[in-house]
A and B are shown apart, each in its own frame.
Chain A
Amino acid sequence: MNRIEVVTRRTFLGGVFSAGAFVLAAKLMPEEALAAPLTKAEKAAWNPNVYLGIETDGTVLIVIHRSEMGTGIRSVLPTVLADELEADWKRVKLEQAIGDKKYGDQNTDGSCSIRDFYDAFREAGATARHMLVAAAAAKWGVPASECKAQNHQVVHTSGKKIGYGELAAAAAKLTAPNKADLKLKTPAEFRYIGKSLPTVDIGDIVTGKGTFGIDAKMPGMVHASIERSPVYGGKLKSVDDKEALAVKGVQKVVTLPHLTPPYGFKPLGGVAVIANSTWAAKKGREKLKVQWDGGENAGYDSAKYKQQLLETVRKPQKAARNIGDVDAEFAKGGKTHEAEYYVPHLSHAPMETPVAVADFKDGKVVIHTATQNPQAVQDTVAAALGISKENVECHVTLLGGGFGRKSKPDYVAEAALLSKQLGKPVKVTWTREDDIKFDYYHAVAAMYLKARVDDKGRPTAWLQRSAFPSIGAMFSPMANTGQGFELGMGWSNLPFDIPNHRAENGPAKAHVRIGWLRSVANIYHAFGVHSFADELAALANRDRVEYLLDLLGKDRRIDLGQRDARSQKFPLDTARLRRVIELAAEKSGWANRKATKGRALGIAAHWSFYSYIAAVVEVEVDNAGKLRIPQVHIAADVGRVINTDRVRSQFEGASTFGAGIAMMSEITAKDGAIVQSNFHDYLIPRIQESPVMTHVHLVDSNEPPAGVGEPGVPPMLPAITNAIFAATGKRIRELPIRKQLA
């Protein structure tokens, strides 16, 4: 028997299958081939597509294939489908999808869940709505044009009504309409989109009932705590486990294989203590005596590496973007300005550490974990165990934060490997120390910028150079310079109107795992570029807002030479950047808030994840150099907003996240090992250090929805340091700020 799903569209975006497109694509699949258990939606009376099922009692089942890590996506994306379906939200039940490529991309990362699935979810809902209307019309023997879907019912012009549940069986027999014939709702008809529905999980969260990865369990499971090489890529020399085995509750000590490059998402290897409780495993692990051979990264030292990066950016490097002739312009002489900037390694430090439970049996493995990317779990675990991906069943729990860490499933592979080795379910719980010491770190970066300015202080030439270890190095040892996707995050797309401009990037070797952290390369790029713009404005003694708008130049769409569908859909439109700058300035009262000693506003505006964000930050710096941020105004144009409250909350969170990077967070290495270990030395903001109040001003937009989770972070860093300059005259060029104001 074949299962047939609704065919609507199949497109490529940027060379890869776009998310939603894949799912609604034609699919004829023999029932036997489905390794995964059926979802409730698939078992429902009607299962029009992989995301939706409708029961005869009218229950609407929506399968959510993206991971919930705090953005609200698990609740918000289904409201899009429910809206187009004209369903009553109270009669909708959500089901979290396991990892399966039939859902399209599941990597909840890159601020793309709404961006990539908004259209697909609308189409999925609208298609089913059309079919319900057709089913009702057929039943009544009236033209479909006389019927309309309204709040979980189809209503005829005569006033008669019939519920979705009663129509499900009949609708199931109909052919789906072509995409071209679909009538999507107009914005005026939206019932959930653009509103602020509470998340479905809030009740469970405030009562402690929500199931996170760390709360997952399996009958008969044992607990593992793993000792890993303090130096990245180090090899196990010897292990003495006598004392560890003597700890009450410890059952066994086993060795996990040493990894080989390219490291990617592979587990790090090490020595695992297996015990009957999390506590016993940890206690046993503390008694292990392990010796490591550090290997080629044993000399990694952040202080030295910083100097290397700075030396690299002081010399000409490969151009990633080149406009006009910067060198010829500099050769003219005149007034120039140059500056160097530095941003350290950072750790994700989600409040929930990496945790996974796995049960390997008969060639198959069942997993419960907090992951941003269950399909990467399938791939990674399959490769580690030598089984096929279809034999990896990955259930996704709530995530206690992710920020990019949990799209890398090394920790899940650890649990799977151990379960295979021990023949029973295993739970691997990373301690906070493990999390801080064995992260995929945000890249450390150095930048050099130089400009030549005219008599108004406007740049006639702008050169920028960066060096940072690339994320690409995890996947290819050859990748020792910034990759296109990294340079595309705020480096090779400077939005300023400058006749001569060159963006360069130089080589840097990775000595620890490098990974993407909320807003990725935008973090350092935005800091360098928007600090430098502020420096130029200060040199010219010009108002920052007026200067920024001047730098932007005439409203235009910037051709970045990218021809892929996504870049075409989301061009860089400077008019939208201008608008958020003006909005942030207006809402913060910029024009009437002149700096006083120790108290001032700062501004920065940055385009990332196709969203336009301006941040105005107010700082207070007291005589002892203590920094306080009483308020932040973030103006954001993220295209159409689906859930206003959750979008606001993402920008509030980004304000704190960005402030933390600016003010206090720093990871360093010494003798190859990470120095920090827990929240006493890896600092992230606490309530009294966080910006006190972040006001979020959303531009009302009909543009396609763009990214929300990440783009609030980058402008925060330079907005804070620019404000500090205005308040104190001290220019911060190195993060974190820490004691630099004392």
Chain B
Amino acid sequence: MITFKVNGVARKFDGDPEMPLLWYLRDEIELTGTKYGCGEGLCGACTVHVNGSAVRSCQTQMQSLAGKVVTTIEGLSATGTHPVQQAWKQVNAPQCGYCQTGQIMQAVALLKTKPKPTDADIDSAMKGNICRCGTYQRIREAIKVAANSKSAAPKAAAQKAGGDE
């Protein structure tokens, strides 16, 4: 039995210890904002935070989660008030939208370590997240918008939504 937290809620798991977190989130607790894109750590569509760092949930086995804290897009801010989500809306970044939750989770993690990222920082943090629709220039712009708008808001928003970041 593994115990951990997802978006502030305590969870227990005693299924296949090798099952990737991605499928646990999607199939078992119906948090479908985290997407499947490749299952091999190649695309970033499944990005979530574990203990505050961006990880590929398709490469994160359930057995590695004991005592860990998981945050998904649903825990970032259910109402879309996180500054990164706001920035995404401001520049109309998404096209089909499928990759965007992973992009947002990756961008949030980037801004935590680099509040004012350079283009090179953005490239190196975001290069694992594929967008087949080709929204990269808007993603870059949105990250810069978020960097310039960051306030205490993320903390408050995350707490309201039961997040841990």
A536 in the interface (beta carbon within 8 A): no
Give chain A residues whose Cβ lies under 8 Å from the Cβ of B76.
Answer: 207
Cβ distance B78 to chain A, nearest Cβ, rounded Å: 6
B80 touches A649 (CB 8 A): no
A643-677 interface mask toward B, CB cutoff 8 Å, 1 = contact, 0 = none? 00100011011111100000000000000000000
- In angstroms, Cα B77 to Cα A403, docked, is 31
Interface of B (DSSP majority class): loop
A522 in the interface (beta carbon within 8 A): no
Give chain A residues whose Cβ lies under 8 Å from the Cβ of B72.
Answer: 208
Cross-interface CB contact of B36 among A196, A214, A656, A684, cutoff 8 Å? A214
A483 in the interface (beta carbon within 8 A): no
A687 touches B16 (CB 8 A): no
- In angstroms, Cα B89 to Cα A350, docked, is 22
Cβ distance A279 to chain B, nearest Cβ, rounded Å: 4
B99 in the interface (beta carbon within 8 A): yes
Cross-interface CB contact of A687 among B34, B39, B101, B123, cutoff 8 Å? B123
Given A277-B23, A279-B19, A687-B126 contact (CB < 8 Å): yes
- In angstroms, Cα B91 to Cα A198, docked, is 10
Give chain A residues whose Cβ lies under 8 Å from the Cβ of B74.
Answer: 207-209
The chain A residue sitting closest to B23, CB to CB, is: A279
B61-80 interface mask toward A, CB cutoff 8 Å, 1 = contact, 0 = none? 00000000000111011111
B133 touches A653 (CB 8 A): yes
In the complex, which residues 16-45 of chain B have their Cβ closer than 8 Å to any Cβ of chain A? 16, 19-20, 23, 26-28, 31-40, 42-43, 45
Give chain A residues whose Cβ lies under 8 Å from the Cβ of B35.
Answer: 212, 214, 351-352, 400
A687 touches B122 (CB 8 A): yes
- In angstroms, Cα B43 to Cα A198, docked, is 27
B127 in the interface (beta carbon within 8 A): yes
* Stretch in A15-23, A306-314, A334-342, A690-698 with 4+ CB within 8 Å of B: A690-698
A248 in the interface (beta carbon within 8 A): yes
The chain B residue sitting closest to A196, CB to CB, is: B92
A638 in the interface (beta carbon within 8 A): no
B98 touches A645 (CB 8 A): no
Cross-interface CB contact of B94 among A205, A431, A688, cutoff 8 Å? A205
The chain A residue sitting closest to B72, CB to CB, is: A208
Given A349-B132, A687-B129, A208-B32 contact (CB < 8 Å): yes
Given A205-B94, A248-B16, A655-B134, A680-B40 contact (CB < 8 Å): yes
The chain B residue sitting closest to A208, CB to CB, is: B33
B127-146 interface mask toward A, CB cutoff 8 Å, 1 = contact, 0 = none? 11111111111111000000
Cβ distance A421 to chain B, nearest Cβ, rounded Å: 22
A237 in the interface (beta carbon within 8 A): no
A43-82 interface mask toward B, CB cutoff 8 Å, 1 = contact, 0 = none? 0000000000000000000000000111110000000000
A432 in the interface (beta carbon within 8 A): yes
- In angstroms, Cα B32 to Cα A694, docked, is 32
B95 touches A278 (CB 8 A): no
Cross-interface CB contact of A653 among B26, B34, B134, cutoff 8 Å? B134
A205-218 interface mask toward B, CB cutoff 8 Å, 1 = contact, 0 = none? 11111111011000
A678 in the interface (beta carbon within 8 A): yes
B127 touches A688 (CB 8 A): yes
Give chain B residues whose Cβ lies under 8 Å from the Cβ of A616.
Answer: none
- In angstroms, Cα B137 to Cα A202, docked, is 17
In the complex, which residues 420-475 of chain A have their Cβ closer than 8 Å to any Cβ of chain B? 429, 431-432
A201 touches B80 (CB 8 A): no
B137 touches A401 (CB 8 A): no
In the complex, which residues 301-350 of chain A have their Cβ closer than 8 Å to any Cβ of chain B? 349-350
The chain B residue sitting closest to A427, CB to CB, is: B27
Q: How large is the interface on A (under 10, 10 to 19, 20 to 34, 35 or more residues)?
A: 35 or more
A574 in the interface (beta carbon within 8 A): no
A280 in the interface (beta carbon within 8 A): yes
A653 touches B135 (CB 8 A): yes
A656 touches B136 (CB 8 A): yes
Cross-interface CB contact of A206 among B43, B89, B132, cutoff 8 Å? B89
- In angstroms, Cα B78 to Cα A290, docked, is 45
Given A351-B98, A401-B132, A401-B133, A678-B42 contact (CB < 8 Å): yes
B104 in the interface (beta carbon within 8 A): yes
- In angstroms, Cα B99 to Cα A351, docked, is 7
Give chain A residues whose Cβ lies under 8 Å from the Cβ of B129.
Answer: 686-687
A183-227 interface mask toward B, CB cutoff 8 Å, 1 = contact, 0 = none? 000000000000010110111011111111011000000010000
Give chain A residues whose Cβ lies under 8 Å from the Cβ of B95.
Answer: 70-72, 401, 649-650, 653
Cross-interface CB contact of B77 among A72, A207, A655, A680, cutoff 8 Å? A207
The chain B residue sitting closest to A402, CB to CB, is: B96
Give chain B residues whose Cβ lies under 8 Å from the Cβ of A71.
Answer: 95
Given A70-B96, A208-B32, A214-B35, A687-B27 contact (CB < 8 Å): no
Give chain B residues whose Cβ lies under 8 Å from the Cβ of A653.
Answer: 95, 133-135
The chain A residue sitting closest to B139, CB to CB, is: A687
Give chain B residues whose Cβ lies under 8 Å from the Cβ of A652.
Answer: 134-135, 137-138
Give chain B residues whose Cβ lies under 8 Å from the Cβ of A351.
Answer: 35, 37, 43, 45, 96, 98-99, 130-133
Given A248-B16, A277-B23, A690-B134 contact (CB < 8 Å): yes
A380 in the interface (beta carbon within 8 A): no
Give chain A residues whose Cβ lies under 8 Å from the Cβ of B19.
Answer: 277, 279
A398 touches B39 (CB 8 A): no
The chain B residue sitting closest to A282, CB to CB, is: B39
B134 touches A679 (CB 8 A): no
Give chain B residues whose Cβ lies under 8 Å from the Cβ of A688.
Answer: 123-124, 127
A249 in the interface (beta carbon within 8 A): yes
Give chain A residues whose Cβ lies under 8 Å from the Cβ of B97.
Answer: 70, 201-202, 205, 210, 212, 398, 400
Given A198-B89, A687-B127, A432-B80 contact (CB < 8 Å): no
The chain B residue sitting closest to A430, CB to CB, is: B36
- In angstroms, Cα B26 to Cα A301, docked, is 39
The chain A residue sitting closest to B16, CB to CB, is: A248
Given A214-B35, A649-B95, A679-B130, A205-B40 contact (CB < 8 Å): no
Which of A208, A350, A399 is packed against the most chain B CB atoms within 10 Å?
A208
The chain B residue sitting closest to A71, CB to CB, is: B95
A649 touches B92 (CB 8 A): yes
Cross-interface CB contact of A649 among B33, B122, B127, B138, cutoff 8 Å? B138
Give chain B residues whose Cβ lies under 8 Å from the Cβ of A206.
Answer: 80, 85, 88-89, 94, 100-101, 104
- In angstroms, Cα B72 to Cα A4, docked, is 49
Give chain A residues whose Cβ lies under 8 Å from the Cβ of B126.
Answer: 686-687
- In angstroms, Cα B135 to Cα A71, docked, is 12
A507 in the interface (beta carbon within 8 A): no
Give chain A residues whose Cβ lies under 8 Å from the Cβ of B36.
Answer: 214, 278, 353, 429
Give chain A residues whose Cβ lies under 8 Å from the Cβ of B31.
Answer: 208
* Given A206-B100, A398-B97, A679-B43, 15 other A-B residues pairs in contact with their CB atoms under 8 A: A201-B94, A206-B101, A207-B73, A208-B32, A209-B74, A214-B35, A215-B26, A248-B16, A279-B23, A279-B27, A351-B37, A401-B95, A429-B36, A656-B131, A687-B123
Residues of A within 8 A of B (CB): 68-72, 196, 198-199, 201-203, 205-212, 214-215, 223, 248-249, 277-280, 282-283, 349-353, 398-403, 429, 431-432, 645, 649-650, 652-657, 678-680, 684-688, 690-694
Q: Can you spell out 24 A-B residue pairs with CB atoms less than 8 angstroms apart?
A: A69-B96, A202-B97, A206-B94, A206-B104, A208-B31, A208-B101, A209-B74, A211-B32, A212-B98, A214-B36, A277-B23, A278-B23, A278-B27, A278-B36, A349-B132, A351-B45, A351-B132, A352-B98, A400-B97, A650-B95, A679-B42, A680-B40, A684-B132, A687-B140
Which 5 A-B pairs rank lowest in CB-CB distance, beginning with the nearest?
A208-B33, A656-B134, A400-B98, A70-B96, A70-B95
